[in-house]
Structure 1
Amino acid sequence: MSTLPHSATPHPEDPAGLLVAWFATRGWAPFPFQREVWDAARAGRSGLLHAGTGSGKTYALWFAALARALDKPPGKRKSLQVLWLTPMRALAADTARALQAPLPDLIPDWRVGQRTGDTSSSERARQAKTLPPALVTTPESLSLMLARADAEQQLRSLDMVIVDEWHELIGSKRGVQVQLALARLRRWNPELVVWGLSATLGNLALARNALIGPEGLLVQGETRKAIEIDTLIPPQPSRFPWTGHLGMQMLPQVIAEIERHASTLVFTNTRAQAEQWYQSLLDARPDWAGLIALHHGSLDRAVRNWVEQNIGSGALKAVVCTSSLDLGVDFAPVERVLQIGSAKGVARLLQRAGRSGHAPGQVSRVSLVPTNSLELLEAAAARDAVARREVESRQPPAKPLDVLAQHLVTIALGGGFLADALHEEVRGAWSYRDLTAQEWQWALDFVARGGASLTAYPEYHRVQPDEQGVWRVPNAAIARRHRLNIGTIVADASIQVKFLGGQRLGSVEESFISRLKPGDHFLFAGRVLEFVRIHEMSAYVRLANRSTAAVPRWQGGRLPLSSQLAEAMLDRLQQAAQGRFDGAEMQAARPLLELQSKWSALPTRDTLVAELMASREGHHLFLYPFAGRSVHVGLAALIAWRVARLQPATFSIAVNDYGLELLCAEDLPWRHLLEEGALLSEDDLLAHVLASLNATELAQRRFREIARIAGLVFQGPPGQAKNARQLQASSSLFFQVFRQHDAGNLLLDQAQREVLEQELEIGRLRDTLRELRRRRLDVHAIARATPFAFPLLIDRLREKLSTEKLSGRVARMLRELEKAAEVGPMKRAARTR
């Protein structure tokens, strides 16, 4: 909102005038894009609003909904009118407070309710009788509402649906869940107005199409929000980086930044990293106890609520957090944002930067805190990419049949369906626009009798047609089980962590707790805890006296480097190869980059650098495509498999975001193999990738998620969830049965497709191979590990050495390499093409 000009005079005789008048009481005037959204919504248009974090987009959509309500007679405003979908239930309370603020002045008889997994049973009971005029909810809770027998009666009065943070949902099965829910709501009310909110997204037209269709409007927010990005430069950046090696060396600078500002968010990429940084800050500054806090998704809901309230009120000086605070909680008091390590993507960095200066017209600022020397290069590249607004795109999943199977049972519970009518409705959801009649019939058969291999088991006969051809759920037990299983978030099996007195701290993965013995210590919720015992899916602990402790490791910790950031890094390397080191980050990284160039070469957009080295371990190939960890996993396996077809060989593989290492006992003719080109060919890529990896094992692990969403595996009621071993055993049994007795089961195809598309990024791998063949190959024989090769060596050693042994090994290697660096070039020979 801009400051209200003195000459502006609001006109309260119409809804738009009332809205402007409310803005004027706060010294604001609507931005043109806000007025555009209001006018479009009042005219019955749907669309997607794209605007930066803190630019006023929430009120653009909320006031559009209020304008539509004010256009109606008071008697027609009482039923549920507005549904506000949020991707995180943690945002619901804050969102509801923000939406409630203007209601006393504009529509006094309205209130904003909440319906999420945290909603009390008493509030749910009240909502079952009468829903409030406006409701903030999540995709999962909306699906639960659709599963009620009176769903149409409760929801057909809806006038407007607003999907917040659509960029967070579009690329996931939760986004598909939203698409299907909207298709159902539109069937009940074809005039329904739907709007999405997006802050950081590259493919806006596709995002609009997936939510609304090509006919929807695409509204761009006000001028780009000013964002400042700088880097805290390490005092002694190493020429031989390895993951996390700077680590706590940056602690004094982080403390100084927190000290200088009233409120700071310290973002980390993993929960384990958040725990470590919070504890280190507290150890260094014990006087900050009670002034700094920890926030991540595994902490108890009450703990997170307390943190959110106190950072919002300005009572906390700093919060160490993960992506749990990425999204739209309005932390107006936050002055500074620090990012520990690389954010690995432009969109994520912009989202986190937007947590500071979270208001129109204010500057957002984020400082990057490198955890290894190569992240200095990433920091410089990130600033370049942000300046060019090269934001990553996100693709909606194509025809996930597990989500469709779940939706069929949901709609059967919510009053039932006619098969042909629902088929037409489902095809109205973007992800299913190409759903064939055969695929639809398969999904219907799957929920009706379990497909071809489960017909003998009544619990999988979930939906049946009645005499009128209406498909319903005939069994009350199946209905209860399905309602408990609704959703597409498949959490890793977790154990509640509680003090002996019963106070809950949060949850950690079962696989971590299972390795602990009574008396072992671990770091969690910002405390060093002593493990006492496990009882009924809870780990009981007490405060420990000693400070040394293990840190829980949660799955999914490593974020892959995005294409946009990788390309920006190659541009910076090109400049370095030409002797240009612009900016503080590049000057700090200059010794590393110059040594890499001296001993080997710098990769660029036009040059693929390969390094060959012999050691006591064997013969090493180092390759630097700069395509991100996920692509390098598939690429390394593909190259190894293709070489092994030519001659027998066994490889050890290491990958990071910048490159890959293949270690073999034999001295292979790598120069010839790489120059010949077949190793990097796109020919038969899909078949070769599947053959090069244990594709069956990967698909079986992926099938666990699919089986849970599709309703084959039941996680158990709240508080009695099955453990990971039970779930994996159950899903593995289905996987094997389908492979042997139902080879045409489309869920098997989906598992394989998801492995290729999501875990291995097969499309990006294909693009990478095409790009690598275009680059000039630059092969170097080296006597010792170069700065780029060193982190790959350490990552491989990390898998087989304890922390103590690894640190000693790294220290010896560093001494040898630094000594060699002072002597002279270590390049044996070079050959290029």
Structure 2
Amino acid sequence: MPTGSQLPQPLTDWFAARGWTPRRHQLDMLAAGRAGQHALLVAPTGAGKTLAGFLPTLAELIEAPVDGLHTLYISPLKALAVDVQRNLLTPIEEMDVPIRVETRTGDTPSDRKARQRARPPQVLMTTPESLSLLLSYPDSLTMFDTLKTVVIDEVHAFASGKRGDLLSLCLARLHALVPGFRRVALSATVADPDAYRAWLAPYGDIDTVTLVQGEKGADPDIAILLPEVRVPWSGHSGIYAIEQVMAEIETHRTTIVFCNTRGLAELVFQQLWKANRLSLPIGVHHGSLSLEARQRAEGAMAEGRLRALVATASLDLGVDWGDVDCVIQMGAPKGSSRLLQRIGRANHRLDEPSEAVLVPGNRMEYLEARAALDAVEAGELDEDVFRAGTLDVLAQHVMACACAAPFGEAEMLQEVRAALPYSALDQEVFHRVLNFIADGGYSLRAYDRFKRLTLGKDGMWRISHPSFVAQHRLNAGIIVEAPMLEVRFKNGRRLGKVEEGFGSSLAPGDTFFFAGMALEVEKVELTDLIVRATAKQARIPSYMGARLAITSNLAHRVRQYLHDRSQWARFPDDVREWLEAQARRSAMPTPEQLLVETFPHEGRHHMICYSFEGWNAHQSLGMLITRRMEAMGLKPIGFVANDYALAVYGLEKIEDPRALFSPDILEHEFVEWVQQSALLKRAFREVAIIGGLVERQHPGKRKSGRQVTFSTDLIYDVLRKYEPDHLLLRAAWADARARMTDVGRLAHLLDTAGERMLHVDLDRVTPLAVPVLIMIGRETVAQGVTEDELLIEAEAIATEAMRLDG
């Protein structure tokens, strides 16, 4: 019997036939597997991470075959599970060993799902949500009897969020069913391995998880693409460089063009087609496209039929296309870890550098791109913030367990505490969660449809009625999209979905770009947008989506660039001249200072705060400061924000900005604003769906986004009035604070603003203010104003700012 890191003969022969030698970290993972240790592997893309994770499984199944489930592979993406299955089947078939590998996702046919529970394969590839559903069946109590290993791929992508909460609870459930299984996690970008080791381990016992570090690959070859004329003052798209981007595509085998939003992906795709004089095959890929459309694009890439694919974060993870030799990032990357992940999609060979090109949208974004490039070079990754698990996810998990079998409260609490996010869960809070599932809470207990659990005389909690089991399985899941409308042709062919807010603004005859096509609306139905292809001019759909904010470590680097003049020689002439003009006209803050400028412009008084805390925090701050200005009689008109600065403008001069930035704004204006805004209602809608209070679907029919929103709004109003301390209102409040407003960064800004503030009062606009000030023009111009007119206006502001006199 082989020992330690020794491979069984079929694997040794397979490596030799390929001309490969197992890498050190692959053998280290095998040794950890043979020793029965949990393991976290951190290795760059192209280092054979997935094979390393599976080596112990392959070795064990070759040496001692089992008839039953041996290994669960958990992926954040359905596509990744399917892709890995395809890659894993190749060595299994070439070694001619009897190992059955299957996938189980939301797209798996129901008859195959039933068969997988009755006769599971040795290796089952799935997602956190599908595993949770699997655990809701009574036969899950025996299905996992032979389980030896759980492999979690791309763990950085979801461990610190709600999907991570769900998966950690599923691992705790498996631990209760089969305590001896091994946990393995794989990632290319982890800033704090110990945090992930604690998350992975039962009860957070970090010492039980072996850390395996992969060999460092070749340094990536990253360039910042500069325009032939000059870096623009404003904009976030990088569209000005579309001809240069097309030239990059022409000179590479296969290119992925990453965009930060779905709307930008559609816009860039259209612009590339206009510049595509050689008619090269180009595709588009994002999360709102139909599964069929995404699979077509992925298949064309895998087969080498596309020269370029314009994509969003939908392709950040894992899809292994060896022929991709260039990655282009349109707009700023927002974080060094995200940039590294995207660069890793190019050239899956460890000893050859991945090639990437950054296309900053404006001058501030140039500094951000430079910061990201330097951070990657220094090996500096973005920090992941782990927090306590959310109660809506816990409620969904407990309901899944109840669907499988009755349980006792004390035993379930002990089981749940094995998951690190819930390790400090209070007994009283857990009891409230159970009571919430049992009757919906004090205000809703008169309604039978909320009575999902019953406490029996034997002290066991069980499902109140079989109908709730079907309801749970139909509605379970962590990802809650904004209400969407299906986009389809009259013949039934589905193209994907657009957000309801955008779709409901369309009328027959309106045109928009989607799935790489110009479409004309024929009819708007309750849940469908019926369209036909058209040659007319069209607009780009807008998506609420998740707006990426610049990470703290990139923001800190940009602050250092502004202060350290020795860095400026590295920048293009126009960027350097811009910074020099700012230093002459106003001030350059130190990294610890908060620069606030006040000046008149076009009959209004402006205050610009350069806080670098990200768009989300600045949006919240703008709302709060304008409220306080109103109360102080400063007559605010509005505000605009980007990742770097907040601009507030009104009719009265702000003499003392410190009064607007006091920390008590979070106790007064913030609480009042969140409670009155749609922010809390949106958060409540999410937690109500995840917590199982509101159905997305009912057996035999699906609710429209409007219907779901109407249901959650009604319940929200009832609870606000009669039970303000309801479990889900507390969960929604925590969500609204933590996720939707970047309240941690906001609180730090307000706590320190008074002592850090450098206030400079000026007689006119400053160079540093131009990028954010231009946004005011863009947001207040009348409909129909052309891009040329906006550019003329922007140029006028820039000329005034850069003027040396006065």
For Structure 1 versus Structure 2, the TM-score category normalised by the shorter chain is: over 0.9
1:231 and 2:220 are equivalent in the alignment: no
AA matched with 2:568:
F
Counterpart contact for 1:15–1:70, Cα < 8 Å: no
Shift of 1:610: 2.0
Tell me the equivalent position of 2:771: 791
1:810 and 2:799 are equivalent in the alignment: no
Cα 1:386–1:715 shift into 2, 3 Å: same
Alignment match of 1:133 (pick from 122, 128, 131): 122
Counterpart contact for 2:249–2:307, Cα < 8 Å: yes
AA matched with 1:690:
V
The 2-side partners of 1:823 and 1:443 are apart by: 63
Cα 1:794–1:694 shift into 2, 3 Å: farther
For each residue in 1:781-807, what CA deviation from the matched residue of structure 2 results, as whole angstroms up to 9, or x when unmatched? 132x33332232333343333453374
Alignment match of 1:581 (pick from 543, 568, 573): 568
The 1-side partners of 2:44 and 2:691 are apart by: 36
Tell me the equivalent position of 2:79: 90
Alignment match of 2:61 (pick from 58, 65, 69): 69
Shift of 1:587: 3.7
Counterpart contact for 1:232–1:369, Cα < 8 Å: yes
Counterpart contact for 1:605–1:775, Cα < 8 Å: no
Counterpart contact for 2:221–2:353, Cα < 8 Å: yes
AA matched with 2:82:
A
> Is the partner of 1:303 in helix, strand or coil?
helix
Cα 1:473–1:813 shift into 2, 3 Å: same
The 1-side partners of 2:147 and 2:783 are apart by: 57
Counterpart contact for 1:642–1:679, Cα < 8 Å: yes
For each residue in 1:617-661, what CA deviation from the matched residue of structure 2 results, as whole angstroms up to 9, or x when unmatched? 521111111221122233334444555555564452211111111
1:655 and 2:641 are equivalent in the alignment: yes
Tell me the equivalent position of 2:336: 346
Counterpart contact for 2:61–2:99, Cα < 8 Å: no
Tell me the equivalent position of 1:7: none
The 2-side partners of 1:474 and 1:694 are apart by: 34
For each residue in 1:331-354, what CA deviation from the matched residue of structure 2 results, as whole angstroms up to 9, or x when unmatched? 101010000011111111000000
Counterpart contact for 2:231–2:574, Cα < 8 Å: no
> Is the partner of 1:156 in helix, strand or coil?
coil
Tell me the equivalent position of 1:162: 151
Alignment match of 1:33 (pick from 20, 25, 32): 25
Shift of 1:95: 1.0
Counterpart contact for 2:238–2:330, Cα < 8 Å: no
Counterpart contact for 1:637–1:693, Cα < 8 Å: no
Counterpart contact for 2:62–2:97, Cα < 8 Å: no
> Is the partner of 2:793 in helix, strand or coil?
helix
Correspondence list, 1:279-294, <5 A = 279-285=270-276, 287-288=278-279, 291-294=281-284
Counterpart contact for 1:103–1:110, Cα < 8 Å: yes
For each residue in 1:494-519, what CA deviation from the matched residue of structure 2 results, as whole angstroms up to 9, or x when unmatched? 12211222222111112212111111
The 2-side partners of 1:476 and 1:423 are apart by: 24
Cα 1:224–1:651 shift into 2, 3 Å: farther
Shift of 1:15: 4.4
Tell me the equivalent position of 2:67: 78
Tell me the equivalent position of 1:116: 105
Shift of 1:415: 2.1
Choose 56-65 or 643-652, whichever is displaced more.
Answer: 643-652
AA matched with 1:281:
L
Counterpart contact for 1:611–1:782, Cα < 8 Å: no
The 2-side partners of 1:597 and 1:13 are apart by: 60
Tell me the equivalent position of 1:781: 762
Cα 1:820–1:743 shift into 2, 3 Å: closer
Tell me the equivalent position of 1:801: 781
- What TM-score, normalized by structure 2, do the two folds share? 0.94
Tell me the equivalent position of 2:655: 669
1:194 and 2:180 are equivalent in the alignment: no
The 2-side partners of 1:286 and 1:153 are apart by: 60
Alignment match of 1:248 (pick from 234, 239, 242): 239
Alignment match of 2:730 (pick from 744, 749, 752): 749
Counterpart contact for 2:32–2:38, Cα < 8 Å: yes
Shift of 1:174: 0.7
Counterpart contact for 1:225–1:361, Cα < 8 Å: yes
Counterpart contact for 1:619–1:666, Cα < 8 Å: yes
For each residue in 1:185-205, what CA deviation from the matched residue of structure 2 results, as whole angstroms up to 9, or x when unmatched? 111111010111122122221
Cα 1:355–1:35 shift into 2, 3 Å: same
Tell me the equivalent position of 1:829: none
> Is the partner of 1:799 in helix, strand or coil?
helix
Correspondence list, 1:609-688, <5 A = 609-642=595-628, 649-670=635-656, 673-674=657-658, 679-682=660-663, 685-687=666-668
The 2-side partners of 1:480 and 1:124 are apart by: 15
Cα 1:587–1:204 shift into 2, 3 Å: farther
The 1-side partners of 2:629 and 2:753 are apart by: 17
The 1-side partners of 2:502 and 2:622 are apart by: 29
Counterpart contact for 1:82–1:160, Cα < 8 Å: yes
For each residue in 1:651-673, what CA deviation from the matched residue of structure 2 results, as whole angstroms up to 9, or x when unmatched? 52211111111212112313xx4
Tell me the equivalent position of 1:174: 163
Tell me the equivalent position of 1:4: none
Cα 1:536–1:781 shift into 2, 3 Å: closer
Cα 1:286–1:124 shift into 2, 3 Å: farther
Alignment match of 1:541 (pick from 531, 537, 540): 531
Cα 1:266–1:719 shift into 2, 3 Å: farther
Tell me the equivalent position of 1:3: none
Shift of 1:768: 3.0
Counterpart contact for 2:499–2:543, Cα < 8 Å: yes
Counterpart contact for 1:251–1:281, Cα < 8 Å: yes
Correspondence list, 1:484-563, <5 A = 484-535=474-525, 537-546=527-536, 548-556=537-545, 558-563=547-552
The 2-side partners of 1:790 and 1:803 are apart by: 23
Tell me the equivalent position of 1:47: 39
AA matched with 1:111:
R
Shift of 1:98: 1.3
**How many residues get paired?**
801
For each residue in 1:589-630, what CA deviation from the matched residue of structure 2 results, as whole angstroms up to 9, or x when unmatched? 223223333332334404432221223452111111122112
Shift of 1:692: 5.5
AA matched with 2:671:
L
Counterpart contact for 2:694–2:708, Cα < 8 Å: yes
AA matched with 2:749:
T
Correspondence list, 1:149-548, <5 A = 149-212=138-201, 213=204, 214=206, 215-238=208-231, 241-244=233-236, 247-285=238-276, 287-288=278-279, 291-535=281-525, 537-546=527-536, 548=537
Cα 1:581–1:144 shift into 2, 3 Å: same
Cα 1:414–1:31 shift into 2, 3 Å: same
AA matched with 1:592:
W
Counterpart contact for 1:354–1:364, Cα < 8 Å: yes
Counterpart contact for 2:191–2:381, Cα < 8 Å: yes
Q: Which runs of 5+ in 2 are unaligned?
A: none
Shift of 1:376: 1.5
Cα 1:424–1:450 shift into 2, 3 Å: same
The 2-side partners of 1:158 and 1:825 are apart by: 76
> Is the partner of 2:444 in helix, strand or coil?
coil
Counterpart contact for 2:634–2:654, Cα < 8 Å: no
Counterpart contact for 1:56–1:359, Cα < 8 Å: no
Counterpart contact for 2:217–2:351, Cα < 8 Å: no
1:605 and 2:591 are equivalent in the alignment: yes
Q: Which runs of 5+ in 1 are unaligned?
A: 1-9, 827-833
For each residue in 1:211-241, what CA deviation from the matched residue of structure 2 results, as whole angstroms up to 9, or x when unmatched? 22213222222125521211111122256x1
Tell me the equivalent position of 1:830: none
Shift of 1:465: 3.4
The 1-side partners of 2:363 and 2:228 are apart by: 11
The 1-side partners of 2:725 and 2:798 are apart by: 58
Alignment match of 1:762 (pick from 743, 764, 773): 743
